[in-house]
Amino acid sequence: MSALAMSAAAMKDLYTQPEVSALIALALAEDLRQTGDITAQTLVGADRKLSGILTAKSAGVVSGLPLFARVAALLGGDLHCTDLAADGTRVAAGTPVLRLHGDARLMLAVERTALNLCQRLSGTATQTARYVDLIAGTRAHIFDTRKTAPGQRLLQKHAFAAGGGRNHRMGLHDQVLIKDNHLALMPGWDFGKPGNAPAEAVRRCRAALGPDTVIEVEIETIDDLSAVMQAGADIVLLDNLPPDRLRLAVADRDRIMAGAAPVGSAARGALRARVDLEASGGITLANVRAYAESGVERISTGEPTHSAPALDLSLRCAPA
């Protein structure tokens, strides 16, 4: 499921997915255990109500606000939550983003779990937006990676898309990505003989998985580009190549595509109608523009999901 293309209804459904519910249940269990909030149970009357406003204390992109209502629902309660900013909204510091009202004990139990998730998701969306802004006007798009917190992948990839990025494969199950370890372990291949191991790996995957599976392959030298394209790769990953080398790869790819036979022609072989180039490795906010200007279509970075600082959100409550 690509968060980038989600409708409003699909976004709402995201927060009820089984893996999201399981993540929330685990977070609540480590906070409440079997006894619950002993402070609130002792000091807060069972009939008390609270109203609250969630505010962005820093400028950024919000993501995950529906989690407040979802956490409450999984606790068996009902908070009245009004989103003041949709996922993907850019907000200034001091902007109210969510209004809450309901049972005081419930709101106090929900607060930290929901805030922990929402702040980190908003941090991912905010950092992604910084990358996206820096490459505006180029043909490149920013893609995420599998470098997500365990159990949070669906939410983090949604947050990445909320920041304007695009989703790479969800996991090992939905797209082929051939890397050096796969080549080293590929049976029946002698690295001592002439030949192109990445291209052979692409051929084997295409033969086994058919025409509809997306196949991406990493190459270490531009000399391998033509062979993996002819073998049927959809995406070619160029890891740790500087922008000047990437420009050469783009030019080579364009020449190969321009000289290819028409789609459907037997002479074309396994060459796909579209072959994208992806840059990765060492991508930062300081250099991403140079990578984008090389002409590649894809730039992948794990920073927004593994290292982005949380967006500062503050929930202020008052008795109602």
Q: Which of 218, 234, 297, 303 is catalytic?
A: 218
Instruction: Encode burial over 274-308: b for 16+ CB neighbours within 10 A, e otherwise.
Output: ebbbbbbeebeeeebbebbbbbbbbbbbebbbeeb
Which one of the listed residues 179, 204, 245, 268 is annotated catalytic? 179
Q: ∠74-76-77 over CA atoms, to 5°?
A: 105
Which 3 state secondary structure label does DSSP give 219? strand
Cβ neighbourhood burial of 12 (10 Å; 0-12, 13-18, 19+): middle
For helices 67-74 and 18-32, the axis angle rounded to 10 degrees is: 70
Q: Residue with structure tokens 């906070």?
A: 31
Torsions phi, psi for 176 (to 5 deg): -80, 130
Q: How far apart are CA 99 and CA 315, in angstroms?
A: 9
Assess whether 147 carries a catalytic annotation. Answer: yes
- Can 218 be counted among the known catalytic residues? yes
Considering the candidates 12, 99, 147, 289, report the single residue annotated as catalytic. 147
Catalytically annotated residue among 239, 252, 276, 312: 239
Q: Is 179 a catalytic residue?
A: yes
The 8-class DSSP code of residue 153 comes to H
Q: Of 12, 90, 99, 112, which one is the catalytic site residue?
A: 112
* Cβ(227)–Cβ(199) below 8 Å: yes
Chain centre to alpha carbon of residue 78: 30
Q: Which helix (H) or strand (E) holds 51?
A: strand 49-56
Q: Give the phi and the psi of residue 45 in degrees, each rounded to 5.
A: -60, 145
| Residues involved in catalysis | 112, 147, 179, 218, 239
